[in-house]
Amino acid sequence: MSKFEIPAGYVKDADGNLIKEENLTAQQREEDALWPRAKALHDEIARFKYDSMKAVEDLVERMIRNHGIKKFERIQGNVQFITVDGQYRVQRAIDKLIEVDSSIEVARQKFTLYLQAIQETAGKDAGEFLDNAFDMKDGKVNVARLIDICNKDIKHPLYISAVQALRKAMFVSGTKAYLRFYQRNKDNGWDPMPLQFSSIEPQGPEESANDEATQATAEA
């Protein structure tokens, strides 16, 4: 028998000892019963994520192939699909993963030159947003803040030169796809349908049955 194989009717404790299931306390049984259901739910969500992402990808490819819809080729932003009854929306978003290389130090120095140039005419807090943008946490800068300073409408030539250096230091290291689901609300807007465990409000069987009955009545 393999050392990893647990005989029927036994469980293994944290120290590797075999314990008969009949010798477990009621509390131990209840605690152990939580894990299999969580694992099954995790696996189901993983399969759903794969199936739904693939379904969207296949749909986009089929629309390009059958109808020549060029706007779907090499999609960089969001693609959304709405159900026939207009009550549900599926949105696929592809976000770029942006990183910076060591040449960011050149950009930092250029921004310093810009701050020195405006020191006499601007307040002492004028460059605070730049200092915050280059603050490092765990050895990394906040890319969102760097993008923000690139998008500011500042016409000073030193600032423009610094932004150009910063853009050269930033590169796309990959992309990440997200799939989001929405349900139309009574105000004709869209409410997100959270699939993250922490974002979902607990709902018992009775509440779920009431929701289904209410929806059926509304559709009748």
Rounded CA gap, 57 and 92, in Å? 9
Measured from the Cβ of residue 19, the count of other Cβ atoms closer than 10 Å reads 12
pTM here is 0.57
pLDDT at site 75: 47
Q: Determine the 3-state secondary structure of 205 from DSSP.
A: helix
Q: Are 177 and 93 in contact (CB under 8 A)?
A: yes
Rounded CA gap, 197 and 23, in Å? 33
Binned average pLDDT, 10 residues per bin, the chain of 220 residues: 74 89 91 89 90 87 72 59 93 84 90 85 71 74 85 90 92 85 94 82 67 52
Look-up: residue for tokens 């998008």? 151
Closest CA relative to residue 8, chosen from 25, 17, 16, 20: 20
pLDDT at site 181: 94
Rounded CA gap, 159 and 110, in Å? 8
